[in-house]
Every structure is written in C-alpha cells, then in structure tokens.
Amino acid sequence: MSLLIKSIKLDGFKSYEKATISFNEKFNVIVGENNIGKTTIFEAMLLWKKCYDLNVKANKKGFYKSGNNLYVNFEELHFIRLSQDTDIFNGTKKECMIYLQLFDDELQSNFDLGFTLTKPYNIPNAYIRITMIDQSEFSEFEKYCKYKNIKLDNIMFIHQTKPVSNVLNKEPYMYKGQIIKKIEKGKSNEVLRNKIINSINSNKERLETYMKKVLGIDFSFIIPTKNKKDQQEYIDLKVNINNQKLDIFLQGSGFLQVAEIFSTIDTVDNELNILLIDEPDSHISPRIQNKLLQELKKIHNTQIFVISHNDNFVSNLDPNEIIFINSDNKSKSDIYSLVQNSDLDVIHHSMGGIISSLTTLQNADKIIFVEGEDDIAYIKKIYNRMCVVDIADKILSDSIDFGDIAFWHIRGKDYLKIKIDNYKNILSQLVERKRYSIIFDKDFCTVKFNNIFKNEMKNRLGKNSKCYTHEGYCFESVLFSNDEILANFIHRLSKVDINIVEKFIEDYRISIQNDLKNVSTDRYNKMKNKFNGQKKESRLELKKVDFDCFAKECSKDYKYAMNKYNITEFVLNFEKRQKVKLFDRNDDNPETCASLLLKSYIETIKSIDDVYDSYKELIKFIFKND
C-alpha cells in the first residue's frame, strides 16, 4: 500500500481543543476511557472526506480555488453525533480545523490537506462554511494524482461498518454507481446482495475464502445467472451450508456482518480504502472478532481503524497498533501509538471495570444492561448513601448485594435492539442460566411508545427479564419529578429561603410548559432540533414518535422535558438570580452541570422522605430478591 493516512490534526473540533493523532500504516485500534473522544476521530475523518469531495471540481482533475466559499447543509451531517451545529465546535468556538496528513511511502511524499469549518452567525442549524486552508498543499496533491494517473475523486473511500440491523427481504438489482452511492450514505446493508454478486463475478473465490477463514464454516453462495438481471426485478441469492439452501436474509448476524465488510471492500476500488469499525464487541462475537481483524490486515490497499472498549482485546495486538486516549494524553498536543508491551498495563489499569470480568459474570445472579458507566456510578452512589443513612432496609425488606449483580454498559441507545441480541448471544456462550434486565433513559420517547419499546426489549431479553426507565427524560431529570423534594434539596444545598426556592421552581416549570405549547419559542425549536438529531435509523423507538406529541406531554409534566441542557439552564438561572453557587465546577457544560446536580442531591439525602419514588423503584428493581 503506497498511500495512507499518517495523522489527523484536530483544532477546536468537538472535545478536541488541539491534538495531532498519528496512525499505524496498516492497522489501528483506538482504546480509552468512556466518552473520551474515540468516535470523534471517526467523525472527523468522515467530515474531512465530505469537505474534500466538495472541493473537487466536476471534471475530477482539480480543486476549486481556496477563495471559493463552499457549504455543507446541516442535515447532511447525519454521520456526526450532534443535535445542533454548535456541537461541532469545541466550547464556545464557532470555527474548527481538520487536517489529514496523507503519505506515499513509495515516493516518501507528505500532503497536509486541511479545511476550516465555520458556523454562520445568527443562523442556527442551516449550514457550515468550508474553506481550504493551504492551496499550495492541494496543488501539490493535484500534481501527485496526475503523476499517479488517479482521478481526485478515486483517491480514497471511507466506509464505516455498522451492526447489520436489517437486510432487505427484497433487494432490486442495481448498477455499481448506485451501489457506491448507497454505501456512501450509510445504507450498505440495503445493497448486500448486489455487492456479493459483484464480488463473486469479479473474483469468485476471494470473498468465500475470506469468509470461510473468519467464520470457520464451509459454505457457498448460490447466485443467479447474469441473464436473470434482465428477467427479474429482485435478486435471488442463497447460501448453501451443509446442503441447506437458505436465502441470505435468514443468515445470522455474524455471517451478515462479515459478508457486509468483505463485499464492500471488493466493491470499492480506490487508491486507499479506509475501514472504520466502531466497537466490534457489540455486534461481532469474540470467536469471530480476532479472525476477522487478522484477515483484514492482509488486504493490501485498506487501512483499518477500530474502536474498542475491551481491554482484553488489545492484549493480542502489537503496541504500535494501539492508540490509547485518556484525559492525560488528550491534553497534550500529540498522541501516538504505544511503544512497548509494558504500556499495556496502563490500558488495563485505566479500563479495568469497563467490561465485567468473567469471574464477576459467573458469580452474578443478574446481568443488568445500562446505557453507560455513569449510570452504574449513580446507582452505586444512591445505594451506598441509603445504606449510610440507614434507609436501604426500609425500601428493601429482602435484598441481594452487589456481588450478585453484573452491570454491562451498552454505550447509548443507538441500535439497542441489535446490541441486546448480540450481547445476550455472546454472554450466553460464556455463562449460563442468568437473568437479564435493562435500564435506559426515556429520552424523547412518549410514554406510550416508551412502554411499547420496553415490552419489545423484555421479549428480546427472555423469560423473567425486566425493563426500567427513569421517571423523566433521563437519570438526572428524576430530580424534577417531585417539586417538594426538589425544593427541599435546593434549599439544603443553597441555604436560600424555602419559599423563594419553591417560587423559582414553580416559575421555571410554568415557563417550560408554556414554551413547549408555543411553536415560535426558542426552547420549542431547540428541543425540536435535538429531537430531529436523535430521530434516525439507529433509534427505532423514535420511528413513530412525533415531536408535537412529545412536547404536549412535556407541557403537562415538565420532568419529561428536563434534558441536560434544560437542567443546566435551571442551575445557571437559579445561581444568577439568587447570587449563589450550587456546587463547584470548572465549566458550565450540560454534562457537567446535570451530573454534579445529581451527585450533590445524593450527598444531601438524610431520610427516606428525601428519596424520589423513581429512585426507590430503581433500587427495588436492582436489589429486590425476586
């Protein structure tokens, strides 16, 4: 492989104030603490490619001049996790820069290709302005491509694999250009049959050979003859395993995921193919993972990037293939791969507890899925506080302890159904006869559709399973489910007169309720934009939810509206009006404010009257011996 990504430089992009991350020429596994910015690196690569494509002229032989103002519409940024355009930038900045350094190891040539992204003033969520940073670098790269006889649009293809949530029951025949477009839009699963046929027609043995090595099974594809394309609208593609010929639609998730990855690699043909695999632990079984990654390393023109939360996974890698990100090295300007095997101890120490150990799983009676590590910390903190003030026994007459429970965090609600199916399948191979439960936020779901989704999750988890969602928008919003308890808590925390606190809470509640009844208010539109940002293919529970129905529920009961942004507004407004500081903090980030408000509440619990009903039910849900 001659061309590769040598490094990425981020300046003011999302959680990265300024950092340059250097890569291995072939294989990179990015590991680190939760919410530290691993997926942000993938997002930056995809955004860079979007900027690059916009700057390539229609004839594919040159770039537009750097003085040209080019734009990308906000709704086109579906591959980035954001609810509004300000989420792209670090802190309060309205501009960021993304560079990729491309390197040709044959010519020993470097190309620093960078773009500035700017948010327009006073026009939220409309577009982002794209500006080429150094025209001379792009001119040199243009000469390089001409020398190599490569069209500028064929220089690189970036494909991010996702859990294969749905293979179409009926898939029409498509031309290669249409297939590529589908892959670029993140809908690769919709053209799986087309990709397999193209791959087999170009090199019959290659795809099956790769897949057999990874899956460890003997099989063959039965593809339609070429003239069927003119006779039939839909593709008839079967898989023969042990003389059982079944449609590919009926194959397991591991088979489909491996077919998806290798058929995509065979379909695209560029100077450099970038394969991004985010958290293979969540949708590829351990048996398949290592074989898959070893086979991918053998592909000559593909540079691979993997995000993993599994500290055991990195034990099988060379140190120079591992990029470890934590709060310490993220604050430095340069991040490199590890140098020696002894550095792996740092990873194991840092990530210990992210994945439950096999011993913990074997000893546990219950396995409880939660969205993130914060949830586990909150649960333990609430339970421990109840024990300290001697109220746990009043809630739990017959309980089990933490040693009987294994928490397994699933990293958000995206593709939740698929994650649960795959995690349960993986865990059932490791430990037997366990009871499964799940705790997740209601988020933007209405009560009706949240209850429907809970029943679907119970069916997936199996007999004796349970599901729990917090009374409100999220874990922290439970604080707003009882105004009396909230007022007493804020009074204890601030020392402000209880009558003043009660009046502030009442005014704030009425303000939110009125705002969400009026489509012209700033709060209504901000929350609607956040809702639209979450309503996507990976969030099936929101598929039939209408924002106005959600807003109507919030206007009747404001706890459903109390996301972290509104919680932070509550904190800042109270502090400003009463000239107090509710808790010490380094910033006013919504994640920080919401978390510290909840932690402060837990620390002030003194009696059972201070505990919200929702938290009592949560503790019963987890610790009740049933």
Q: What angle do CA 431, 432, 435 make, to 5 degrees?
A: 100
β-strand pairing of 109-118 with 238-241: unpaired
Res 44 pLDDT > 90: yes
Does an H or E element contain 22, and which? strand 16-22
Mean pLDDT, to the nearest integer, of 245-260? 88
The residue whose two tokens read 């992204």 is 117
DSSP 8-state assignment for residue 529: H
Mean pLDDT of the 113-127 span = 90
β-pair type (322-325, 95-104): unpaired
Contact 490, 508 (CB under 8 A): no
DSSP state string for 200-264: HHH-HHHHHHHHHHHH----EEEPPPTTHHHH-SB---EEEETTEEEEGGGS-HHHHHHHHHHHH
Q: Count the neighbouring beta carbons within 10 Å of the beta carbon of residue 30.
A: 24
CA angle 541–545–550, rounded 5-degree value: 115
Q: How confident is the model at residue 356 (pLDDT cuts 50, 70, 90)?
A: very low
The answer to whether 439 and 367 have CB atoms below 8 angstroms apart is: no
Least confident piece of the model among 316-320, 390-394, 403-407, 421-425: 316-320
* Of the candidates 343, 370, 372, the residue with the CA atom closest to the CA atom of residue 440: 370
Structure confidence at residue 346 (pLDDT): 57
* Helix/strand/coil for 286: helix
Per-residue pLDDT at 437 exceeds 80? yes
Q: What percent of the chain clears pLDDT 70, i.e. is strictly above it? A: 92
∠ Cα 456 460 464 (to 5°) = 100
Enter the tokens of residue 373.
Answer: 């590590």
pLDDT over threshold 60, residue 463: yes
Instruction: Find the range with the poorest average confidence among 151-160, 435-444, 490-499, 568-577.
Output: 151-160
Closest CA to 127 of 54, 236, 61: 54
Instruction: Compute the distance between CA of residue 183 and CA of residue 24 in angstroms, rounded to an integer.
Output: 25
pLDDT tens column, 79-98? 888 888 999 999 888 999 99
* pLDDT single digits (tens) 286-325: 677 778 877 887 777 789 998 876 655 666 677 788 888 8
Spatial contact of 435 and 464, defined as CB atoms under 8 Å apart: yes
Q: d(Cα 116, Cα 133) in Å, to the nearest integer?
A: 6
pLDDT given for residue 455 in this prediction: 93
Collapsed DSSP state (helix, strand, coil) of residue 167 = coil
More confident residue, 165 or 507: 507
CA 300, 303, 308, 310 torsion: positive or negative?
A: positive
Q: Mean pLDDT, the chain, as a whole number?
A: 87
Overall average pLDDT of the 178-202 stretch: 87
Question: Are the CB atoms for 118 and 13 separated by under 8 Å?
Answer: no
* The pLDDT of residue 433 is above 60: yes
Helix spans in 364-409 (H): 373-388, 392-395
- Reported for 89-96, long-range contacts at CB under 8 A and 24+ positions apart, including other chains, are 89/12, 89/13, 89/14, 89/119, 90/12, 90/13, 90/14, 90/15, 90/16, 90/17, 91/17, 93/12, 94/118, 94/119, 94/121, 95/12, 95/119, 96/10, 96/11, 96/12, 96/13
- Token digits of residue 132: 């080429």
Identify the residue with better confidence: 168 or 495: 495
Q: Which of 233, 119, 92 is nearest to 173 (CA)?
A: 233
Using CA atoms in the order 475, 481, 484, 490, what is the torsion angle rounded to 10 degrees? 30
**Looking at 42-56, 203-217, 346-360, which range is the least confident one?**
346-360
Q: How many CA atoms lie within 13 A of 276 on its CB side?
A: 20
| Cα–Cα distance for residue pair 572/239, rounded to 1 Å | 60
How many angstroms from the chain centroid is the CA of residue 319? Answer: 25
- % of the chain surpassing 90 pLDDT: 46
3-state secondary structure of 589: coil
Q: In what order do the strands lie in the sheet with 220-222?
A: 220-222, 238-241, 244-247
CA neighbor of 420 nearest in space, from 453, 446, 389: 453
Is the pLDDT higher at 121 or at 486? Answer: 486
Is-contact 237 221, C-beta < 8 A?
Answer: yes
DSSP characters for 401-456? -GGGEEEEE--SSTTHHHHHHHHHHHHHHHS-S-EEEEEE--TT--HHHHHHHHHH
